[in-house]
Structure 1
C-alpha cells in the first residue's frame, strides 16, 4: 500500500511540479486561464469544441524556449505568459482575423514551482481577455531534470469574421507600405538587459511584454490591405518575406520611418545615446515588437493607427527590400546593424 503524498503549502519552495503532479498543475493553471467566448466545450475533456461561424479557422503556433526567448531573471512569469500570447495573437491579427482561443503545450523540469506556472497562465489569460479569448486546452510533460529549462508552445485559433485572409503574397506595384505599432523598443530593451540594467523601464517593459496593435489587423483587412505580416524578426527581414512572396520590391522611406518610430524624441534615442547605438538600427532590424506591416492600394484610406512608410515597386521574385532606393544591406551597414533581423539557426 503506497503512502499518501504529503500536503505541501502553496508558495512553499517544495511546491513544485514534481510534488503537485500533472493533474494538480493542470487544475491550478486552468483556474487562472479564463473563459473563451467561442468555446462550446472548454478544458476538461479530451478536446475542446469551439464555435466557428465563419466556417474557417486561422491557426498559428509559436514556441518559446527558456534562455533563448525569455530568461526568468529578466522577466516575471506573468511577463512570459503575456509574451507567449502576444507572438501568436499578432500572427492571427496579421491575417486580418481575431483570436478566439489558445492551446498550450508545456515541458518543464520537475522542480519548476507551480506558482511560476500559475503566473504564466495569468499572463496568457490577461493578454487574451480583451478579445474574449482564453486557453481551452493543451498538454504538460516533464522535461529532463538537467534540461535547459521550460519550453512553451502556444497555438492560437482565430476567426476571420467573413473577411478574406490577408496574405503575404498580395502586394502590387504602386501600393503604399504602411506600419501599425512600434519598432525597435523590444530590441532596445534587450540591449539594456544584456548590459545588466533595467532602465529606461519603457523599453525593458516593451521587451518583456510586447503590445501588438491587434485591432489594426482586421481594420486593415476591412480597408482593403493587399498583403500583411507581423514584424517578429525585424522590419527588413519581414518586409523581405512579404516582398519575395509577392514578387515585388519594397522601398522603405527612412524619413517616414524616423517620423513614425523616433519622433518625438524618447526612450530609443536615450538608450541609443547611452550605448553608442544608432536607434535606427533597432527600428530596421529589431524584432519582437510584433508591429503589423501591410500594403494598401495607393488611393486607399489608411485606418486609424496606420502610417505610410514606403512604396511597393516592380521587382523580380527575390528583389527584396531597399531603403531610400538603396540596398537594405547598405542602409543597415550605415546604422551599424549586422543583419536585417533575427535568423533562426543562424
Structure 2
C-alpha cells in the first residue's frame, strides 16, 4: 500500500495540479501520475497527521486504541455500470457507497471514523471523469453523512480487468467500550435505526428490464426514485452509533446482508434467540409501497431480508433505554441460538456472498 505517492503529481500544490493535467479521455490516456494527481485534487477531507504523499500514512489514536474495517466493491458483483433498467451507475455513486458501507461498520462498533485509505483497480479504458467521480463521491459522503473529521490519508491505484474499490477506515471509540455482537441477553429489546428495505427495493427496480422500449427510470415514482437512491448512495445513521452506546446498547451491528441474516449473527455470538415482529419492521411501508406494487412483492420481504441499506441493529436492556430515532422490532429470548419471525423460523435470511 502506498499513500498515493508519486513525485510527479502528489506533492504539487492544487493550483499546479490543475495546470499539469490535460482533459484525457481515459485512465490509459492519463497515466498513473496524472491519475493520482486528479484524484488528490478531488479528495476533500480533514487532514491526517501525515499523508497522503509518503509510503504510509500516520493517523491519530486519541484514546490509545482504534477500530478498523475494510470493504470492497467489485463491478458486476456489487454494482453494475449499466443496469438492466437502463440506469447507469456513476463513479460518484461508487465512491459514495464505498464510504457509506465502511463508515457504517465503524458506526456499528459505537466508534467515530478518523481516517480512510482507498485502493482503486481500473481497466485502462475507464473514463477519467468517471474515476474523478469516485473521489468526489467518497469525499461528499464523508461531509454529508456526518464524518467530516475522517481524513483520506492515502491509498493505491492499479490496473485490472474490472473496476473495484477497496477502502479501509479507522475509528476512535472516544474512551468507550466497543459494542459487539456477543452482548445481547434474554429480556433485551431489539431495535433498528435507519432505512430498512429501501435499498433492496431499489435493487429490484434497477434490475427490471424495459417494457415496450420504454426506459424504466422514466416511469418511477418519487418514492421509487428514493429507493434507487438509497441503493446507489446508502445513508447509514452515523449519529446513532454513539447515541446507542450512551443509552447502554448491549450489542450492535450494521445491517448489510439483511435484517434476519445479521440478527442471526448476533444470536449466534450471544447464544440467544432474536425474536422479530413482522409488523415491527414495517415502519418504511409508505416508502416501499410503489416499488412493491410494481415488483409484485410484499414489502416486508425487503425489510426482513434485503441488504445494503446499512441501518443499525442493536439490543437494549429495557424499552425505556431505546433512544429516539430507533424503531422497536422485537425482543431477545433465552434458548438455542436462532432468529424467529412472529415465533417461526424463517425460510430465507438474506444475502450470502457465496450462495447461489
TM-score norm. by structure 1 comes to 0.88
Q: 1:88 aligns with which of 102, 114, 122?
A: 102
Match of 2:142 in 1: 128
Partner of residue 324, structure 1: 342
1:60 positional shift: 0.4
Instruction: Return the alpha-carbon distance in structure 2 between the equivalents of residues 100 and 8 of structure 1.
Output: 30
Equivalent pairs counted in the alignment come to 317
CA–CA distance in structure 2, aligned partners of residues 204 and 324 of structure 1? 29
Question: In structure 1, how many angstroms separate the alpha carbons of the residues matched to 2:115 and 2:281?
Answer: 34
Tell me the CA shift for residue 134 of structure 1. 3.1
When structure 1 is superposed on structure 2, of 176-185 and 195-204 the one drifting more is 195-204
Counterpart of 2:59 in structure 1 is: 50
2:309 is matched with which residue?
289
Runs of 4+ in 1 over 6 A off after TM superposition: none
For the pair 1:78 / 2:92, whether they are aligned, the reply is: yes
After TM superposition, give the deviation of residue 133 of structure 1 in Å.
1.4
Match of 1:334 in 2: none
* Deviation at residue 298 of structure 1 after TM alignment: 1.6
- Counterpart in 2 of 1:333? none
Does the CA contact (< 8 Å) of 1:33 and 1:134 recur in 2?
A: no
> Following TM superposition, by how much is the alpha carbon of 1:343 offset from its aligned partner in structure 2, in angstroms?
0.6
2:83 equivalent to 1:65: no
What CA distance in whole angstroms lies between the structure 1 residues aligned with 2:138 and 2:333?
40
Question: Equivalent residue for 1:234?
Answer: 258
Among candidates 275, 280, 284, match of residue 251 of structure 1: 275
Q: Partner residue of 1:168? A: 181
Instruction: Please state if 1:106 is matched with 2:106.
Output: no
Deviations along 1:231-250, one digit per CA (max 9) or x if unpaired, are: 00000000010110100000
Contact 1:163/1:222 (8 A) holds in 2: no
Equivalent residues of 1:249, 1:320 under 8 A apart: yes
Deviation at 1:112, TM superposition (A): 1.3
Shift of 1:81: 0.7
1:217 positional shift: 0.7
Where does residue 46 of structure 2 map in the other structure? 36
Distance in 2, matches of 1:224 and 1:267, equals 30
CA RMSD of aligned residues (A): 1.5
Structure 1, unaligned stretches of length 5 or more? 1-6, 330-338
Counterpart contact for 1:190–1:204, Cα < 8 Å: yes
Are 1:139 and 2:139 an aligned pair? no
Work out the CA distance in 2 between the residues paired with 1:85 and 1:286: 20
Q: Residue 178 of structure 1 aligns to a residue in which SS? A: strand
Residues 13-65 of structure 1, C-alpha deviations (whole Å, 9 max, x = no match): xx32222211211111011111325x111200111111211111110010100
2:192 to 169, 175, 179: 179
Q: Deviations over 1:66-104 (max 9, x none)?
A: 011112223111111111111100000000001111111
Name the stretch that deviates more: 291-300 or 231-240. Answer: 291-300
1:223·1:300 contact (CA, 8 Å) conserved in 2?
no
Gaps of 5+ in 2: 1-19, 83-87, 210-215
Deviation at 1:309, TM superposition (A): 0.7
Are 2:193 and 2:326, in contact at CA under 8 Å, matched by a contact in 1? yes
Q: Deviations over 1:171-222 (max 9, x none)?
A: 0000000100011101111111111322221111111111110111111011
Question: Quick check: 1:342 aligned with 2:355?
Answer: no
Q: Separation in 2 of the partners of 1:72 and 1:54?
A: 41
Name the CA distance, whole Å, in 1 between partners of 2:291 and 2:319.
38
Q: Within 2, Cα distance between the matches of 1:24 and 1:8? A: 6
1:180/1:291 contact within 8 Å kept? yes
Cα separation, 2, equivalents of 1:284 and 1:57: 32
Aligned position for 1:22: 32
Q: 1:326 aligns to what SS in structure 2?
A: coil
